[in-house]
Structure 1
Amino acid sequence: MEFRERDYGAEESAYSLPRVPAKNHPLFARSLPYQVDVTDNGKDDFCDPLRGLGANMAMHIGDVEDVQSTYNRKLSNEAALQLSEKEWASFKRSLMQKFSATKTVSISSMSDVIVKSGKAHDKSSTSMHLEELDDPQKIAEEDVKVITCQEYVSRLHELKDEICHAWQADDRVTSLKLSIKVARLLMDTSVLQFYPTLFVLVTDVMDMLGDLVWERIKRRAKYADDGTIICSLPENFKAIDVCPDAKETCNNWFCKIGSISELLPRIYSELAILHCWRFLHDQPCESLQRLVMMMRGLADPLASVYCHLYLVRCAQKLLPCDRGYLITCINDISIILMRIISGKETISRYSSGNKKLLISLIEPTIEWSVKCMFTYQWEIGNLFAELGLGGNLSESSQNPPCISIVLHHIIKELPAEIVSSDALEIVQLIESSKDFSFDQHLNYTLLGFKLCERRPQMDSVDAVLVKVFQAVSQYDSLDEYLKVVDAYLDIVLQYQMENYLTIILDGISKRASDKVVAESELGSLQSIFIKLLTHFNDLEDAFALNHFVEILDVMYGTSRNTVNMHILNKATRNGYIRDPTTIQLLFEISQALHDGIDFSSIKDDDNQQSARLISHFIQMVDYGTEMDRHLTFLVECRGAFGSINELKGTLVHSSNSLAIKAMKGTNKHVSFVKSCIAFSEVTIPSISAGIRQMNLYLETAEVALLGGLVSHTDGLIESAISSLQSLDITRGSQINVDVDGIISSIRKLCSLLIMVPGNPTEGIFYIPKSLLSLVTSDPGVTPRLRARTLCAIISLSATFSQNTLPYHVKNTEVMGNDILFFGDPSYNQELSSISSISVQNLVEGIQEEVYKAARGTMALEACNCIISSFKANPEISLICSRLMEIAKSCLNANDKYLRSTLNILDKHLACSRDACVVVV
């Protein structure tokens, strides 16, 4: 077999695609309108994201805003009429989850409907003693029974079914009586924690009753007793559309409910059928104020506020009505809260310990009522006036004072633009609300976040911040201080108020010094640091802030890791890091981040991101001309971050890059390059992945060769071969092997060998022979890996046979094999021997492939390799024909790769025949 002669320069010119310089970038703005005009076919509604905003586009945006505004108004009107059932259902679920019931519930005399079917138990002496300590008054009652919470809930479900069955049996009197008994359960507030769950369960029953009554009256309005249709009642019917019989039925239901002796069941029963007033009056909302007034007769505060909640919910089923009932509800709840806070509540069981729990139980009623109130359009002045916000608890006033928890939910629902324009007035309200119903610092915090949603005017911002910082300066609690300043930090940074930023950091340092920061405080510190890092373009400006590093040092755990990751991300985004002080600080930050990595779960996303950031930091460090200091830095990193396997590869890359930099910068580079190569040689063996080791050895060998260190290059290539030998590349291996990666590395090795001078002592081709021996001696090597490796060796041999190699080392001291062994007969004989063995093993190995498709593709690859490497002759033609027969038997006749290879082979055989004719 004789190798083909190649003219690499001519081949490059022949096969390279023609290149034409472009006058403008294809996405250049001036060219876009012309391209778009062709695409959009004159349609004005076409929106190209790469086109600038012209007049037409601005007009379209205006139209979209008008449509959106109209949609929002429509949506607001619908929300004012009725909040969706989905929202109410979600609210009830959250209510039950927030106040999980106790395992047992006390049974009072008013719960006889539960006792009849449920299993009541006498209390144990232990539980009696514990409850006596908690509430002596309650335990003094005789014959106290308990029932499990699950039994209580099951009994309520049974009652719901009984009411439904009685209704279906036309026994509506029984349905009403049972419903009244169910509503009566809400009079029992003896177990505070259970009351929200009880409210949800009871109101489900009452809602069912209301729906049954509604459907009955509606049917009476549509059909006669014999089923004849009287009229088709429209969706938005008026009272005049309802027939007298239906009105009489409706009036009877309200009369029955009005005769209920106990106040709470009477109110709940009327609320359940409240929407039925539509059959009698066109203005059904007029009854709401009457019901609110009735609720003032409820003595128990918890029962009263939840009754108000049910009224607000039931009122949403009516047509739009005046918002006055909502104002009255919220004011009444505020009065109840004022009595609890001021200690004027007369019910003895609400001790000081229970008041906090009681207020937390009342809070959801405030939240829902205020949310419903803001379905209306409000003027901020009118709103505060109607709610009577102002004053303090010590002053007697007709209007309730500003209760902190009520104010919180009002601020929460206020639109951002209103908060922005009336921020000073809201701050004054917060200042006046100093009761224990809600922590005052949370209201300051909420105001700050609301202000950040809409950028306020500078003059009002300064006035607000003066008052806020006067208040927070009195806080000794770090947690409260952090929550408030975190809320206002965005505004401080936006308006570049350095004086407030200094106050914030001084305040944090003062409160955080000499103490261990609690976990609850770490979240606020994390938020503050991230905002600072985001604001400053240069990391050095953030580091220069007073107490920045000092405060960072008090953090720990996940929050510290998160901040450290943001710092490293910021540091590595703006180019190389050259300041020694900054490098040292980032090194310490990387150490802290490294110490926080859980190496038992290194594949976790957070751990991987930490490792990547540390690696990126090392890559971006640049000591300039102080290359010895840079190499020392890499040594320190290897010691500090040696647990991160992936980072060791980064250290090798950095060391090799440093060696290349040294070669370019000075003539006195040999000793330093040797130091860099020695660093890499020591670091690579500690990397666990064999294929990664091989690639790094090859990379370092290339650097050594570029530096003229041929002996180092030979040693590194031998290490690469050893790494390859250590891989378990047999077909029976249970470990997933990256065969494509191995093949790529082998091809990279062969490409590098073209520049490496042959070693006469070891043999000119001892490295290709080692590679050939590796893939042919082990029967367990997969056929695919063996075939592609042999193809690479054949291509390498063909390249070595050329008079001029395709590329050389850019170092005049390193001569290529085409110069060292030009005209040496033994050189060509050895090449011929290697290639012959490779071809023979290649054809035999392909036939060992089990899968037909893979076997056919391998045969085509081998055929193309042989055709491109050897001159046409009968021996080569015979081998290629044999390979093509294998490919044809395995692949479809229309396979494109097969067809193109056949065309090339025909040309090759034609050359072979012409050569034979010339010989004859």
Structure 2
Amino acid sequence: MWSWFTCEGGQSVGYRDVEVRGSGADAAGQTSPRFEPWSQKKAAILAKYSTAEKLSIATSFLSGGEKVVVKTQSSVTDKVKNRLEQLDDFEEGSVREMLNLSQQEYASRIEELHQALRQAWDQDQRVRALKIAIQCSKLLVDTSVVQFYPSKFVLITDILDNFGQLVYQRIHSKAEYLKPGSKVAVPLPVDFTPDQVPESAKETCRNWFFKIASVRELIPRFYVETAILRSYSFLTQREYSRALMRLTGAICGIGDPLVAAYARCYLCRVGMSLAPEAHEHVLENFWHFLLTYPQLERPVVQQLLRQQKLDLSTYLTLYCPALDWILQCVAQGASEGLLDQVLSRCKDQCNSALLLNSVMTAFRPDYVASRALELVGLMRDCDDASFPKHVLLRTLGLCLTLADPPEDQRRQVLSQAWKAISKLRNPGDYLSCAEVWIEYPCKHFTVREVDALLGALVRQLVPDRAYEQHPQQLVRLVERLVRHVSDFGRLCAMEHLLPLLDLLPREGGARLRGCKAQTRDPLVLHALMHVGQALHGSLNALTLEDERRHIAQLLCGFLQRVGFGRDFEAQLAFYVDARAAFSTLDPVLAQLVQDVNLLAMRTRQVVKGHHTRKTAAFVRALHDRSSSVGAGGGTTDGLARLYLNALNLLVALGQEHYLYHLDKVDSNDALYGGDPKFRAQLEQLCGSVLDQLLAHLRVLGESGQVERQARLALELLQRLVVGANLERRPIFALAVSLWGLAHRHAALDHRTSVRCLEFVKQRASRAGNKGPYAELATKLQIPSPV
């Protein structure tokens, strides 16, 4: 669905991401359907935050860990006492550490813990399941491999979410109630109230919270209680807000700023799923994060960075998923006034580029665009070493593709932003910004400003051939440019357009993808049609054949770049206009015939072979249009090509079993397969076609066109080898004569002759090097190249 903003440089960011962040809630406090759910973020986090370092895991439930001892309890008191003893045993020891795990092995161990939790729950071992959840939570204390922490958070919280769901379902299953006037207990409805919950279920719910409250360590106690927070709905309807604020305060006791940030992220995530209308805890978590931000400059953090050989910029990007989620929750249904308040606090307390990027990511693009000039100034004051500045510029550029800044500030915004972009020395960083910002002058200024930016871009990329390392970004930049320039004619006249196009890779997939791009823009089509008519009008009787062929290739390329999607009638109308405009060029007419026939097949594909009256009439119209284009003259190479293909068709019709069939239609293989009269008629037609080809070969020889004669002779020989019966001596003699004719004037490419002879030898080897193919292979000798 939607992609999500990333906080590291050089990575692609979807255009719609800004809009997703800014989407609000309705009056009832329901989450907007455009609010990006956590499930979409998880895969991106796991892919992005990886490590090659060795990991460790401490647990008593894997490979020789804790053994379960099932005791018999004579009373409820003994049962409770035994469970408390199990918790005490867990607190005191039996935890073993597994070292030197790769990232994949670590993820596998986490999944084993997940399976162990489910198995314990299915076996009615509730305390064991709780202990697994607690041990999983304790893994989030460890930051020994800090680059992997965001991915570890995703893996662990998946287990906690499952545990919370199991607890909720357990209590819900025990909460059957009696409807008024009924004596049969029924399950609670979806929208139940605490008044409908029986006291036994409430007692079970309280017991779960009491067990978790007995956990001595803060982080596991916080995470497990947050995981089962949904179960408060069995006790009271007003507990969510108080519990969320209480847990927000508990996070202040976590000393590691990264661990605390992800704890706040988890609390906001659970809070948004349970009570989207409760915003107090979300904003409070963000304010607390701002207060603790100076901790990132403390010696303990600097020591961690030195130990793990990380720079501050890389370390700060680890906060991005947590901070992005918190700010997305803050921006949910927020007003412009809240954005001003957030920017003011960020500026007063830390002026962090990390925070500024997340703020622009989270809030609605029109809010951001109206403050674009202020944001550019804040970027200028940010520390380059703490966070990549090109990411800030790219994020602002993406916002401005979706919303416009005030009209009186547009030129100043472009001037200051491009000045900052020009200072970027890394070509990848520079292109990641230019790719987005090139759309801004196309929308708000003239071609002159766009051309000036293109000139600056070319000058930046040409030294040291820096453009060769970033072909994809260059292609995306050109695509944006073409898509958003309104005056296509003036675009083609730009001074720096061709130098920019020369930077595109001449080989590989990038330029090919650029060539495959189709358009239906009426302005672009009108401009290109005008240019094509001018080229076509320049042809006359004195025009050289090479020039005619070159113009035909250009026009065919233009026709292939026009696509109207599923508007097939508009596509046909365009082809009709093109046939009228380019009527004297046979290759263009042939291209139009193929395009019209392809349109008929696309129509059949859309209706899945079952035409309606409307589509059937449309397909008949397509065939009428294509058949109205006359065939070429009797002495043209086009007609010779047609005869060669006719030979292929006749050979295929002679097969006993066809490769393709139409549904519910009996083909000739079913009607006449093996019939002597049918085969005789096919042979007669083949003879007629062969006579026409031999006559054309004679005409080519008499007119001195020896190169065309040689090519046609060799192609006809290849058809005979594939489909003719060489055991007939006249056919065999004709094949040998065609080989001699093809090489008589040494006008044929040597490699073509080699390929043809190799094919004949392959056919001979299939027959055991016996028969006419083996004899033909000995007769065909390649003259030595001069």
TM-score range, shorter chain: 0.5 to 0.7
What amino acid is the match of 2:266? Y
* Equivalence for 1:624: 538
* Structure 1 counterpart of 2:437, from 469, 479, 488: 488
Match runs of 1:343-492 below 5 Å? 345=301, 347-348=303-304, 351-353=308-310, 355-375=312-332, 377-386=333-342, 388-391=344-347, 399=349, 401-436=350-385, 438-492=387-441
Cα distance in 1 for partners of 2:529, 2:120 equals 81
Using a 3 Å threshold, how does the CA distance of structure 1 residues 251 and 657 change in structure 2: closer, same or farther?
closer
Using a 3 Å threshold, how does the CA distance of structure 1 residues 367 and 441 change in structure 2: closer, same or farther?
same
* Equivalence for 1:215: 169
Indicate conservation of the 8 Å contact 1:477/1:511, yes or no. no
SS at match of 2:100: strand
Q: Shift of residue 271 of structure 1?
A: 0.9
Indicate conservation of the 8 Å contact 2:361/2:395, yes or no. yes
* Equivalence for 1:289: 245
Using a 3 Å threshold, how does the CA distance of structure 1 residues 556 and 573 change in structure 2: closer, same or farther?
farther
SS at match of 1:353: coil
* Equivalence for 1:251: 206
Cα distance in 2 for partners of 1:575, 1:80 equals 44
* Equivalence for 1:319: 275
Indicate conservation of the 8 Å contact 1:341/1:437, yes or no. no
**Is 1:783 aligned with 2:740?**
no
String of CA shifts for 1:871-890, please: whole Å, max 9, x gaps. xxxxxxxxxxxxxxxxxxxx
Q: Shift of residue 440 of structure 1?
A: 1.9
Q: Shift of residue 507 of structure 1?
A: 1.1
What amino acid is the match of 1:463? Q
String of CA shifts for 1:156-205, please: whole Å, max 9, x gaps. 44544544455455543343333322322222222335444443343233
* Equivalence for 1:515: 464
**Is 1:88 aligned with 2:38?**
yes
Using a 3 Å threshold, how does the CA distance of structure 1 residues 717 and 780 change in structure 2: closer, same or farther?
farther
Q: Shift of residue 572 of structure 1?
A: 7.4
* Structure 1 counterpart of 2:233, from 259, 272, 278: 278
SS at match of 1:507: helix
Cα distance in 1 for partners of 2:367, 2:111 equals 46
**Is 1:79 aligned with 2:31?**
yes
Q: Shift of residue 337 of structure 1?
A: 5.6
Cα distance in 2 for partners of 1:785, 1:331 equals 89
Q: Shift of residue 310 of structure 1?
A: 1.8
Using a 3 Å threshold, how does the CA distance of structure 1 residues 279 and 429 change in structure 2: closer, same or farther?
farther
Cα distance in 1 for partners of 2:321, 2:260 equals 13
Using a 3 Å threshold, how does the CA distance of structure 1 residues 353 and 700 change in structure 2: closer, same or farther?
same
In terms of mean alpha carbon deviation, does 262-271 or 624-633 score higher?
A: 624-633
Using a 3 Å threshold, how does the CA distance of structure 1 residues 151 and 636 change in structure 2: closer, same or farther?
closer
Indicate conservation of the 8 Å contact 1:239/1:279, yes or no. yes
* Structure 2 counterpart of 1:204, from 158, 170, 190: 158
Cα distance in 2 for partners of 1:317, 1:452 equals 31
Name which one, 1 or 2, has greater alpha-carbon Rg.
Answer: 1
Using a 3 Å threshold, how does the CA distance of structure 1 residues 572 and 323 change in structure 2: closer, same or farther?
closer
What amino acid is the match of 1:460? Q
Q: Shift of residue 495 of structure 1?
A: 2.8
Indicate conservation of the 8 Å contact 2:371/2:405, yes or no. no
SS at match of 2:318: helix
What amino acid is the match of 2:437? Y
SS at match of 1:146: strand
Match runs of 1:831-870 below 5 Å? none
Q: Shift of residue 447 of structure 1?
A: 1.9
Q: Shift of residue 265 of structure 1?
A: 1.0
What amino acid is the match of 1:256? K
Cα distance in 2 for partners of 1:521, 1:154 equals 36
Q: Shift of residue 233 of structure 1?
A: 4.8
String of CA shifts for 1:829-850, please: whole Å, max 9, x gaps. xxxxxxxxxxxxxxxxxxxxxx
Cα distance in 2 for partners of 1:188, 1:656 equals 73
SS at match of 2:325: helix
Q: Which runs of 5+ in 1 are unaligned?
A: 1-70, 119-141, 392-396, 579-616, 659-694, 702-712, 740-777, 791-920
Using a 3 Å threshold, how does the CA distance of structure 1 residues 721 and 258 change in structure 2: closer, same or farther?
closer
What amino acid is the match of 1:318? L
Cα distance in 2 for partners of 1:170, 1:435 equals 55
Q: Shift of residue 577 of structure 1?
A: 6.5
Indicate conservation of the 8 Å contact 1:697/1:720, yes or no. no
Q: Shift of residue 781 of structure 1?
A: 5.2
Q: Shift of residue 452 of structure 1?
A: 2.4
String of CA shifts for 1:788-833, please: whole Å, max 9, x gaps. 999xxxxxxxxxxxxxxxxxxxxxxxxxxxxxxxxxxxxxxxxxxx
RMSD of Structure 2 on Structure 1 (CA): 5.1
What amino acid is the match of 1:402? N
Q: Shift of residue 252 of structure 1?
A: 3.3
Using a 3 Å threshold, how does the CA distance of structure 1 residues 314 and 533 change in structure 2: closer, same or farther?
closer
What amino acid is the match of 1:96? L
What amino acid is the match of 2:209? F
Indicate conservation of the 8 Å contact 1:631/1:655, yes or no. no
Match runs of 1:228-243 below 5 Å? 233=188, 235-239=190-194, 241-243=196-198
Cα distance in 2 for partners of 1:305, 1:370 equals 12
Match runs of 1:491-570 below 5 Å? 491-498=440-447, 500-519=449-468, 521-534=470-483, 540-557=489-506, 558-563=509-514
Count of matched residue positions in the alignment of Structure 1 and Structure 2: 553
* Equivalence for 1:97: 47
* Equivalence for 1:308: 264
What amino acid is the match of 1:185? L
* Equivalence for 1:700: 633
Cα distance in 2 for partners of 1:550, 1:630 equals 30
Q: Shift of residue 257 of structure 1?
A: 1.8
Cα distance in 2 for partners of 1:252, 1:732 equals 84
Cα distance in 2 for partners of 1:717, 1:634 equals 15
SS at match of 2:650: coil
What amino acid is the match of 1:181? Q
Cα distance in 2 for partners of 1:725, 1:182 equals 72
Q: Shift of residue 325 of structure 1?
A: 2.0
Q: Shift of residue 103 of structure 1?
A: 8.5
Match runs of 1:784-823 below 5 Å? none
Q: Shift of residue 264 of structure 1?
A: 1.0
Cα distance in 2 for partners of 1:169, 1:499 equals 74
Indicate conservation of the 8 Å contact 1:221/1:230, yes or no. no
SS at match of 1:367: helix
String of CA shifts for 1:272-304, please: whole Å, max 9, x gaps. 222223334414221222222222222333432
Cα distance in 1 for partners of 2:641, 2:359 equals 71
* Equivalence for 2:548: 634
* Equivalence for 1:729: 650
* TM-score under structure 2 length normalisation: 0.58
String of CA shifts for 1:211-260, please: whole Å, max 9, x gaps. 33333444555469xx9877975544455555555444433332322221
Q: Percent identity?
A: 23
In terms of mean alpha carbon deviation, does 568-577 or 516-525 score higher?
A: 568-577
String of CA shifts for 1:8-66, please: whole Å, max 9, x gaps. xxxxxxxxxxxxxxxxxxxxxxxxxxxxxxxxxxxxxxxxxxxxxxxxxxxxxxxxxxx
Cα distance in 2 for partners of 1:82, 1:560 equals 35
What amino acid is the match of 2:323? I
Using a 3 Å threshold, how does the CA distance of structure 1 residues 717 and 561 change in structure 2: closer, same or farther?
closer
> Which protein, 1 or 2, shows the higher relative CO under an 8 Å CA cutoff with sep ≥ 6?
2
